[in-house]
Amino acid sequence: MRRVTLACTLLLPFVAAGCGGQIQNLLGPNVDPVIVTETFSGTLTRNGATSHSFPINFASGGEVTAVLKTVSPDATTVVGFSLGTFNGTACQSVIANDRAVAPASLLGRATSTGTLCVRIYDIGTVIEPQDYEIDVTHP
């Protein structure tokens, strides 16, 4: 019995070392998502709304940040600003700020691949057309 225990004790480091490499290969390399920043711009008119869609390409998703950078010529214009899911036709709001003034931001988390969207809309405060710029950072 003592010989078997001694043999197992001597072989254990070699077996563990051999398994370590195989286990690491099975798990694959640690992959971080590629983070992308997209800029969307346009003109918001009275009673108008515009949506911009963007893909989430990383399987486990990640942080998504939308920033309403500018509204001009009147930087004090209050607008609606939302982040949501895009079904190919419409932007379904998930996170919204119905009283956004630039610079305003929305932060969310995608849990998988798919198509999300950012939306800007008049809440009854746009009198003259307003140009806007939105940055969206996502995986």
Q: What is the CA radius of gyration of the chain?
A: 25
pLDDT confidence of residue 33: 84
pLDDT confidence of residue 125: 96
Same domain flag for 113 and 50: yes
pLDDT confidence of residue 29: 56
Domain at 61, CATH number = 2.60.120.380
Closest CA to 96 of 86, 107, 111, 88: 107
CB 111 within 8 A of CB 58: no
pLDDT confidence of residue 138: 95
Same domain flag for 62 and 123: yes
Local mean pLDDT, 10-residue blocks, the chain (139 residues): 41 44 48 90 98 94 96 97 95 97 96 95 97 97
Kindly give, in sequence order, each residue whose CB lies less than 8 Å from that of residue 105, ignoring residues fewer than 6 positions away: 65, 66, 67, 68
Same domain flag for 9 and 49: no
CB 71 within 8 A of CB 123: no
Closest CA to 117 of 125, 126, 108: 108
Domain range enclosing 43: 36-138
